[in-house]
Each structure stands twice: as C-alpha cells, then as structure tokens.
Amino acid sequence: MTVNADISRTRLPIMRVQNVTKTFSTISAGRRTHLTAVDQLDFTIAAGETIALVGESGSGKSTAAKCVADLLAPTEGTISMDGAPTIRPGRRARRRDHRRVQLVFQDPNGSLDPRQTVRQVLEEPLRNFFGNNRGELRRRVRELLADVELDESLLNRRPRELSGGQKQRLGLARALAVEPEIIVLDEPTASLDVSTRGQMLALLERVQRHTDVAYLLVSHDLAVVQSLADRVLVMYLGSIIESGPTDRVFTNPQHPYTKALIEAAPKMEYRALRSAWRLDGEIPSPTDRPSGCLLTNRCPVVQPDCHAQRPPLVAVDADHLSACIHPELLSAPSMDARTAS
C-alpha cells in the first residue's frame, strides 16, 4: 500500500474519549436494576486513523459507538473534539455539529425510514448540510451510489425493496455524503458477500486517503479488522481488556479472551481443526459484573488471584495494553494437554 507522506507525520487526536461510562436502568419485577453497558472507556482518535472495536456480542460496542456519535449521552466521562468537551455526562448536551461525526448503524433495516426512497435518503443530508441545488444533488447522489456499488435503477426503491446488503451500502453512502471527520462504522460489512466486502473496504481506504477521515470500526469480522484497522480495542462486558496495534494484538494476544476470539475465527477449510482454547461457562450479565477479572468464570487458565480485584490495563510493551495479570499462561503447555483429552 502506498502511504501518503503526510500520514506518517505525528498526529494529534481529533477526538478524545475519557472515562466514558454508560449505564441503562431497567425496571424488572418492580425493581430498578442498573446495567453497565460501557465502563470507563478511554481512547483517542486521530485524523486518518482507523480504530477497531471488537468484542463479544452484547459487550457494549454499539453503545460506545452511539456515545461517540452523540446519539447517547454518557452517564459519566467526557468526549471532546479538538480539546473542547462537547458531550457532558448526565444531560442531553447541546448537539455537536453532526457534520463532524457520522454513524453507520448496525441494523441497516431499522435505521432507514421505511417511507423514504433511496434518492430521498441520500438527498436529505446533502440538502441539510450543503444546501445543494438540484443539479448538484443529482450529481452527488449518482456519485455516492457508484461509490458503494449500487445500481441507479434502485433510486426510486424503498428500503423494503432492497436486499440486506443493498440496505447496508445505502447506510454507508449517506454517512459518506456528509463528508465527516470521523465515521463510526457499526458492522459495515455484515451482510455483504466477500467480493462486495472487498470493494467496500477498498472504497473506505480510498476515501480515507483522500479526505483523512478517521474510522471507528465495530466488527465481528476479524479479517475486515485486520485489513482496515491501525489499532484494535477488545471489549468484554463493557470494558476494554486489551488494546494495541492490530498486527501485534493479532499475532501476540495478551488476554485469554482475545486469544479465544482469534482462535475461534472460522478457517477457510473443510472441517478445519478447532482450537481447544475455548471459553465455556455462563456468560456473566452486565447487571452483575464479576468483581475481579471479568473473565474469571470462563477463563481456561484462571488463577486464585484473578478473583481479588479488577486488573487494570497495563502496558505489555509501548502501546500494547492488556488487563490480564497472568499473560504468561496464554502459551502454557498445559493447554496442549487439554487439546489431547
């Protein structure tokens, strides 16, 4: 890949997420319970950078994504752009300019107005943000459709007349229409076939090269994460349990959850051998999070001292952080014995 000269220069973050916590309160059986969807999230995003958020289903990725896009107000912590906090906890703060941060929703169906045609979906942001005239609107709409590989014959269709993958690409196109500085991509390729997926990734890279947009990518598809992300944040039960440069996290995971995740990825073979490094046991509930390490009840190499307290994120080397106090056990030979049994 050719890298622009200016990409390698030192960058300052354009967004800083500091100690963001989001709790939902729900009432069940007459009692109010608090569900911690996201706990003490802390990271920065720089222009032109791609950060991936991976983790278990229900671990709080979409909630974090919506906080970043200013659709949910965090319960605690701040999210600031260019040093000025725009999202304060507690109240629905005055809107940040949505021109700067866009979100591609996880559910392409639910996030499209059932009554809008493809054309209307794409024209709306162009009108609202740029006040484009008719000719300009047409041209941009056509351009956006071409970008996401959608045929112009779809222009007058409504969402229910599109396939799953077509809706997903429409969601991406309208976020691109706004030309924001940060795009949060919540599972952008989940219902795309692999060849369309390849084209979408190429598009995302191309747009990033041209506009220096930053991506916060949420994905279960580890191949996509590896091909797009500079850094990865691994979430489990609302917390980041490992973070670092993509290549290092994938080749040398320092947390048992990350290792399980990487090893569980299906291989492109017929009946591939499966790793013995698996997480069994009940998944804990975010209303009742374990007090020690979050993974204690499922970790294959759990130790007595793991229950004592929640391990903090500590640096394994330079910018690779992990919240496991026994990373040495990740390559322990005892695991091979388990494989054999």
Ligand X SMILES: Nc1ncnc2c1ncn2[C@@H]1O[C@H](COP(=O)(O)OP(=O)(O)OP(=O)(O)O)[C@@H](O)[C@H]1O
Contact residues toward Mg ion (CB under 5 A) are 62, 106, 163-164
Who's near 286: CB < 8 A, 6+ residues apart? 35, 36, 37, 58, 60, 237, 238
CB of 262 to another protein, least distance (A): 8
First and final C-alpha spacing in the chain: 44
Work out what residue 241 binds among another protein, Mg ion, ligand X, none; the CB cut-off runs from 5 to 8 Å by kind. Answer: none
**Nearer residue to ligand X within complex by CB, 15 or 37:** 37
Q: Which residue is nearest to Mg ion (CB)?
A: 62
Options 23, 50, 63, 75; binder of ligand X; rule CB under 6 A: 63
Nearest-angstrom CA–CA distance, 82 and 85? 8
Asked if 275 contacts 263 with a C-beta cutoff of 8 angstroms, the reply is yes
| Number of other residues whose CB lies within 10 A of the CB of residue 30 | 5
3-state secondary structure of 5: helix
Nearest to 58 by CA among 245, 220, 264: 220
35 binds ligand X (CB under 6 A): yes
Question: Which of the ranges 56-64, 173-181, 225-233, 310-318 carries the binding residues for ligand X, by CB under 6 A?
Answer: 56-64
Among 191, 199, 252, 297, binds ligand X (CB under 6 A): 191
Please give the C-alpha separations between residue 162 and each of 47, 158, 166, 193, in angstroms, as whole numbers. 33, 7, 6, 15
Nearer to ligand X by Cβ, of 54 and 306: the residue is 54
CB of 145 to another protein, least distance (A): 14
CA distance 12 to 286: 34
Beta strands in 152-307, from DSSP E residues, in sequence order: 182-186, 214-218, 231-236, 239-245
Cβ of residue 186: shortest distance to Mg ion, in angstroms? 6
> Considering the rule CB under 8 A, would residue 53 count as an interface residue with another protein?
no
105-124 residues near another protein, rule: CB under 8 A: 105-115, 124
- Residue 322 binds another protein, judged by CB under 8 A: no
Q: Which of 32, 83, 135, 282 binds another protein (CB under 8 A)?
A: 282
Q: Is 229 in the site for another protein (CB under 8 A)?
A: yes
Interface characters, 87-116, with ligand X (x: CB under 6 A): -------------------x----------
Distance CA 130, CA 123 (A): 10
- Binding span for another protein by CB under 8 A among 77-85, 132-140, 285-293, 300-308: 285-293
Binding partner of residue 30 among Mg ion, ligand X, another protein, none, CB cut-off 5 to 8 Å per kind? none
List the interface residues with ligand X, window 195-254 (CB under 6 A). none
- Give the integer Cα–Cα distance in Å for 75 and 59: 17
Backbone angles phi, psi at 232, to 5 degrees: -120, 140
Contact between 3 and another protein per CB under 8 A: yes
| Position 152 contacts ligand X (CB under 6 A) | no
Question: Is position 54 an interface residue for another protein (rule: CB under 8 A)?
Answer: yes
Given the DSSP bridges, would you call strands 239-245 and 320-322 parallel, antiparallel or unpaired? antiparallel
| Binding partner at 6 among ligand X, another protein, Mg ion, none, C-beta below 5 to 8 Å by kind | none
Q: Cα–Cα distance between 162 and 7 in angstroms, integer?
A: 38
Nearest to 52 by CA among 299, 173, 169, 223: 223
Restricted to residues 243-272, the positions that interact with another protein (CB under 8 A) are: 245-247, 260-261, 264-272
**Which residue's CB comes closest to ligand X?**
165
Structure token digits, residue 140: 């941009």
- For residues 288 and 34, what is the distance between their CA atoms, to the nearest angstrom? 9
Q: Which residues bind ligand X (CB under 6 A)?
A: 24, 26, 35, 37, 57-63, 106, 160-166, 191, 286
